[in-house]
Amino acid sequence: MANKGFNGTTVTFPSTASTLGLRGVSYTESAAEVNVTGASDSVQKHVAGIPKKELSLDIVGGSTVTAGTTGSMTVNWNDGKTTTVGSVVVISKDIKGQMDGEITASLKVTRTST
C-alpha cells in the first residue's frame, strides 16, 4: 500500500489570507557558478556562489496570488506538524488546465529579506 502521508497538506500564504490546497511541493537549492579564472590559468576555475533556495507549489485550482506577492508562508502537514517557511516572495506563477481535467496553478517562491 502506498504512503499517502502528504494528502491533505496545505500552505497558508500570506499567513493571514488564504489556505492553498496542494497537489505537490518541490524544494530546490542551487548556487550560482562564479568564474574565478585568472589570467595565467590554462582552464576555467569556478567556486559556488551564495545558495538560492526555492519552493515550488502545485495547487489545485487557480490562484489569485500574483508574481511579486510577499508574505509569511506556513506549511500545514497532514501529520499535524507545521513548518514556518518565513518571509517569501512569489517569483513565478503558471496556471494550466486540460480538456476534461482540473485547473492547477504552480507557484515558485524564494526567501526574501522583507
Phi, psi of 34 (to 5 degrees): -105, 120
Q: What is the pLDDT of residue 53?
A: 82
Second CATH level (architecture) for the domain 10-111: Beta Barrel (2.40)
Euclidean distance between CA atoms 63 and 105, whole angstroms: 6
Place 41 in a pLDDT band, splitting at 50, 70 and 90: very high
pTM above 0.85, yes or no: no
Q: Which of 27, 24, 46 is nearest to 36 (CA)?
A: 46
Own/partner contacts of 78-82, CB < 8 Å, gap of 24 or more, are 78/5, 78/6, 78/7, 78/8, 78/9, 79/5
pLDDT in tens, 66-108: 889 898 888 888 888 888 788 899 999 999 998 998 888 898 9
The set of cell numbers assigned to 18 is: 488564504
Q: What does the domain layout of the chain look like in residue ranges?
A: 10-111
